[in-house]
Structures are given as C-alpha cells and as structure tokens.
Amino acid sequence: MNDIITMPALIVALVIGIVAAALFELGKYFVQNLIYKRSEYSGNWINYIYGESGEIIKVDKLKIKHNKKTEEFKGSIIRKVPLSHTHRKWKCKGVFYKNVMLMVFWPKENIHSYGVAYFQHFQQDEDYKYSGYYLKYKEAEKDIEKVKIDIKQVDFESDDCLYFQQRQKQQAEVATTADTKKGD
C-alpha cells in the first residue's frame, strides 16, 4: 500500500475538519440559546435600590439569560436612575435555587462597584418579584453595608425606569427653580 498522502487529500481532510468544528460550535450555540429562550426567567428585569429612609434611589435594568437545566444565569446590568449614573454597566452571574435568587456582579468599566445579592421570593408577592439585599463594601469604614433591593421581571421595556427618570428631572428642575428664587 502507498503510505504517502497526496496534497489534495490533505487539503480535503483539513477543510472537512474545519467545517466539522464550525458546525459543532454552531450547533452548541443554537442548543444553548434554545435552553435560555425556553426559560421563564430569561428576559428583562428591573431592580429598585432603596436609601436609608426607604425611598427608591437607584433603578437598574437587567437582561438575564437563564439556563433551565443548571438553574444558573448570566447577564448585564445598566443603571437607569439616577440620570448621572446611566453610563454605569455591570456583568452578573447567579443561580435560582428554590425560591431564592443569588447573584454576583462586577463593573464593565473602571469603577469600584461590585458585590453579591441575595433575593427571596415570598408567596404573597408577584410571580417574578424578589426582595432582598446586596452587600456593599465601604472602603472608608472597612465595613460591609447591607442595602435593601427589590427585583422583578418585566415582559416589555418597562415604563418604570422612564417614570423615575422623569421624576428625577422634575426634582432637579424644582431644585434649580428654588436656587434661582433664592438668588433673586
């Protein structure tokens, strides 16, 4: 037998190998997307971060992809309120376990804003609404602060963020008007 491989046969084998690898990766991509899209947890979420006196001080929009098989999720977070922070973005990963949602998040940009969050779903709440806390490290005090946060799934681009942005603009206008009157 002839043990010499011809150049055309080598090229054909190389092309077949490349095509097979590409098809494998493409198939893996479609299967993962199918798993994510079938999950009731995949989609848009809104979280509300509360101040010490119980008022909503920050609003974020989350886009989550949930793996129904492993219960893990990954996603992105974009700050919507306050308006001065709308450039802030984070990545997140976590897991749904029974009626609990655990999440870790870290910034996409160079800001000191990362942490972990624990959310609990209570039976009397809406189906996809969780309440909990995130832990925030306070550098100056060398201490960890617990911050109240609610998160809920929304089926559409929520008007909630627009409401809070408009309210914040109105408050800024009122403050500006008050400052102007003081100067008169």
Query: What does the pLDDT profile of the chain (184 residues) look like in tens digits?
Result: 456 778 888 888 888 889 989 888 887 777 666 655 678 889 899 999 999 999 999 999 999 999 888 999 999 999 998 989 989 999 999 999 989 999 999 999 888 888 899 999 987 666 788 999 999 888 888 889 899 999 998 876 555 566 566 666 666 666 666 556 555 5
Claim to verify: residue 51 and residue 114 sit in the same structural domain: yes
| Same-domain pairing of 17 and 55 | no
Whether pTM > 0.75 for this model: the answer is no
**Same-domain check for residues 22 and 110:** no
If 0-12 CB within 10 Å is exposed, 13-18 middle and 19+ buried, where does residue 105 land?
A: buried
Q: Determine the structural domain holding residue 146 and report its residue range.
A: 43-175
Nearest-angstrom CA–CA distance, 36 and 100: 19
Give the count of domains, the chain. Answer: 2
Residues 69 and 7 in one domain: no
Q: Alpha-carbon torsion 74, 52, 48, 165, what sign?
A: negative
Shared domain for 61 and 125, answered yes or no, is: yes
